[in-house]
Each structure stands twice: as C-alpha cells, then as structure tokens.
C-alpha cells in the first residue's frame, strides 16, 4: 500500500517568486471562523438568540446553574457551543 504525498511548496515557479495568497485575500469579504464564533458568543453572552455556525438555526444561550451563559445549544441541529 502506498500513499502519495503532496509535492513540496516551491518558492519559485517559472523563474519568479511565488507567494501563497493570504487568508483574507481568498475570503471575498466573508468573515473568518474567529469572527463568526466571536459573533455567536457575543449574542449568547447578551442573553440573545444567535445564528448557529453549523446550520444557521437559532442558538439559544445555555445558562445551566449560572446567570451568565456558558455557551449555547442550537434548537434545530442540537449543536452545542461551550
């Protein structure tokens, strides 16, 4: 059984320097994963429904035994964030 490894990244391609595009360049204005999750946490911490990062459904704050939410649970897909 053999596996193929990807070719190593070459700093030069066709005689000129090649640089990989940075992450923000590829996003086309879309939020990063960090920004997406930070927005969900901000909504939950403010005791509001937030958009589930998995399915887009309503994620409700999960208070447990505390007054401050320690995460949330999606009402549609049951995803938890803690």
User: Whole-angstrom Cα distance, residue 44 to residue 37?
Assistant: 11
Q: What is the pLDDT of residues 14-54, one digit of tens each?
A: 455 545 555 555 556 788 999 999 999 999 988 899 999 99
59-73 pLDDT, tens digit each: 999 877 667 777 899
DSSP state of 22: P
pTM above 0.85, yes or no: no
Output the CA torsion sign for 77, 82, 24, 4.
Answer: negative
Distance CA 8, CA 51 (A): 39
- pLDDT value for 6: 52
Q: Specify whether the CB–CB gap between 59 and 40 falls below 8 A.
A: yes
Does an H or E element contain 58, and which?
strand 58-61
């Amino acid at each position: 059984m053999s596996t193929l490894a990807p070719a190593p990244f070459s700093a030069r391609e066709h005689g000129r320097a090649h640089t990989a595009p940075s992450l923000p360049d590829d996003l086309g204005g879309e939020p990063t994963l960090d920004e997406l999750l930070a927005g969900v946490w901000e909504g939950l911490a403010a005791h509001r429904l937030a958009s589930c990062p998995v399915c887009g459904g309503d994620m409700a704050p999960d208070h447990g035994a505390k007054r401050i939410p320690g995460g949330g649970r999606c009402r549609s897909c049951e995803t938890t964030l803690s």
